[in-house]
Amino acid sequence: MNLSPVVIAIPMYFILMAIEMIALRFQKHPGYRLNDAITNINCGVISQVTGVFIKVLSIGIYTLIYQHFAFFHIPNNVWTFFLLFFLYDFCYYWAHRMSHEINLFWGGHVVHHSSEEYNLSVALRQSSTQTFWTFFFYFPLALLGFDPVLLVLASGINLLYQFWIHTEAIDRMGILEKFMNTPSHHRVHHGRNPKYIDKNHAGTFIIFDKWFGTFQVEEEKPTYGITTPVKSWNPIWVNLAHYSTMKEELKMIPNWSDRMKYLFYKPGWLPDSLGGYRAPHEVEADYQKFDSVVPTSLNWYVFTQYIFLLLLTGFFLFQVETFTWLPKVLVSAIIIWTTVSFSGVFEKRNWYLPQEIARILAFVAVVFFLIQSLLPLPILAGVLGMYCLGSFFWLWKNQQLKSQIPSISL
């Protein structure tokens, strides 16, 4: 069983989101939009699924450094863990800060900032590529001799701490504001207002921002998101959009020295011949959040299908250590396909219906492959058959409403 604190806490994430929804309703705050919340969670799902493969690289290299190049071997006890947690957060601060200040690294982190809402589901909007640009920031901890197992534990707890601060349901928190990261401090970090950009990079302890000059107190309410909204519910495109922009802008830059500067200077940098640095601008007076409208029945369809996806994802993440490579690849592929399929439904893409039918059939095949030994064949076939027929009937009914909402063509 996967004992990562982040995976173990999955049920708690959804319980806390439900509590937040209730609290926001009492505060008469709109809080959540289904398309945005599902996209947030989809990004987190893909991040966890791809992390099954990518973390082999990051933890593997950390372990090699620890085993062969560590100056010390620090004993594992509660006091050394507290020290590790503090030092981990210090490394996190710099990894996080550089993810904002280096254009290439921003491509891995921009995913987390691309939601135009601010609620607990945004905490799950994680990148699938950020590990490539940040895992080496923690190598000093390996050289000091901190056990890789404790590092994974400290990393998980640090990430868990950051979950609850993604909310507008909690205002200021008194004395905690002085040394801990809080919802107020982190709301600043997610603001796209120029005064808030690249501020409050803390994971757990806000003191690092105060020490290194990146602290900003929350004043006016932030406008959330990024200066160039991604305008898509597709989690794959959300992960790739900034890299795509970089590719196009690199083509405009004539010499290699400026291309290297473009990669490693701040986001927005261009050589003087192309206009120079593009500073963040104030939020437009007519700014509107990206949205798309589909029939209520389609929203309910996606919500219902999403429950099945989360069950499969939870089963996969908890049991991943028992899987061989073929099941890992098959389940990862169907999970990622499903998240993209839902974005097609939300955006009313012309391709959503035929590929959704194909996805349902593939989903059933993968589930059958995984659990055929857990249930008697007649019961399993009956349950999966009812799922297929119910899904196809619901899609057929929804198709009758298609003419009511304009489609988005490719």
Q: Where are the domains of the chain?
A: 5-212, 296-404
Interacting residues of 215 by C-beta distance below 8 A, sequence separation 6+: 199, 200, 206, 209
Cα(147)–Cα(406) distance, integer angstroms? 56
Query: Does residue 273 have a pLDDT over 50?
Result: yes
Q: What share of the chain is helix, strand, coil (3-state, %, to 5)?
A: 65, 0, 30
**151-162: per-residue pLDDT in tens?**
999 999 999 999
- Residue 375: pLDDT band with limits 50, 70, 90: confident
Q: What is the mean pLDDT of residues 245-256?
A: 96
Tokens of 127: 């990148």
Cα(66)–Cα(407) distance, integer angstroms? 54
Label residue 304 left, alpha or beta by phi (over 0 means left) and psi (-120 to 50 means alpha): alpha
Among candidate residues 294, 299, 292, 305, the one with its CA nearest the CA of residue 363: 305
Cα(306)–Cα(300) distance, integer angstroms? 10
What backbone torsions phi and psi does residue 285 show, to the nearest 5 degrees? -65, -30
Among candidate residues 232, 227, 235, the one with its CA nearest the CA of residue 292: 232
* Alpha helices (H) in 347-376, listed in sequence order: 352-371
Among candidate residues 13, 239, 258, 22, the one with its CA nearest the CA of residue 132: 239
Q: Which residue has the higher pLDDT, 99 or 315?
A: 99
Comparing 5-9, 69-73, 241-245, 302-306, the range with the smallest average pLDDT is: 5-9
Q: What pLDDT is attached to residue 240?
A: 97
Cα(94)–Cα(111) distance, integer angstroms? 18
Q: What pLDDT is attached to residue 401?
A: 58
Among candidate residues 99, 218, 89, 105, the one with its CA nearest the CA of residue 154: 89
Q: What is the mean pLDDT of residues 181-198?
A: 98
Q: What pLDDT is attached to residue 408?
A: 44
Q: Rounded to an integer, what is the distance from CA 342 to the centroid of its chain?
A: 16
Q: What pLDDT is attached to residue 403?
A: 52
Q: What is the mean pLDDT of residues 171-181?
A: 97
Cα(201)–Cα(190) distance, integer angstroms? 10
Q: What pLDDT is attached to residue 407?
A: 46
- Please report, rounded to a whole number, the percentage of residues in the chain having pLDDT higher than 70: 96
Q: What is the mean pLDDT of residues 265-285?
A: 95
Comparing 70-79, 173-182, 344-353, 395-404, the range with the smallest average pLDDT is: 395-404
Looking from the CA of 231 toward its CB, the CA atoms found within 13 Å total 6
Query: Does residue 28 have a pLDDT over 90?
Result: no
Q: Which amino acid is at 41?
A: I
Q: What pLDDT is attached to residue 5?
A: 73
Q: What pLDDT is attached to residue 400?
A: 67
Q: What is the mean pLDDT of residues 191-213?
A: 97
Q: What is the mean pLDDT of residues 318-335?
A: 90
Average pLDDT, the chain: 93
Residue carrying structure tokens 């990079």: 201
Cα(191)–Cα(230) distance, integer angstroms? 15
* Alpha helices (H) in 136-224, listed in sequence order: 139-144, 148-164, 183-189, 207-212
Q: What is the mean pLDDT of residues 204-233?
A: 97
Q: Which residue has the higher pLDDT, 323 or 211?
A: 211
Q: Which residue has the higher pLDDT, 7 or 334?
A: 334
Query: Does residue 398 have a pLDDT over 90?
Result: no
Q: What pLDDT is attached to residue 4?
A: 67
Q: What is the mean pLDDT of residues 368-379?
A: 88
Cα(269)–Cα(222) distance, integer angstroms? 24
Q: What pLDDT is attached to residue 410?
A: 39
Q: What is the mean pLDDT of residues 238-265?
A: 97
Q: What is the mean pLDDT of residues 57-84?
A: 95
Please report how the helices 103-113 and 256-264 are oriented relative to each other, as an axis angle in degrees rounded to 10: 40
Q: Which residue has the higher pLDDT, 135 or 375?
A: 135
Whether the model clears a pTM of 0.85, i.e. scores above it, the answer is yes
Q: What is the mean pLDDT of residues 358-376?
A: 91
- Please report, rounded to a whole number, the percentage of residues in the chain having pLDDT higher than 90: 80
Q: What pLDDT is attached to residue 164?
A: 96
Query: Contact, 50 vs 332, CB < 8 A?
Result: yes
Residue carrying structure tokens 């007076």: 285
CB atoms within 10 A of CB 90: 18
**76-98: per-residue pLDDT in tens?**
999 999 999 999 999 999 999 99
Q: What pLDDT is attached to residue 2?
A: 58
Q: Which residue has the higher pLDDT, 293 or 30?
A: 293
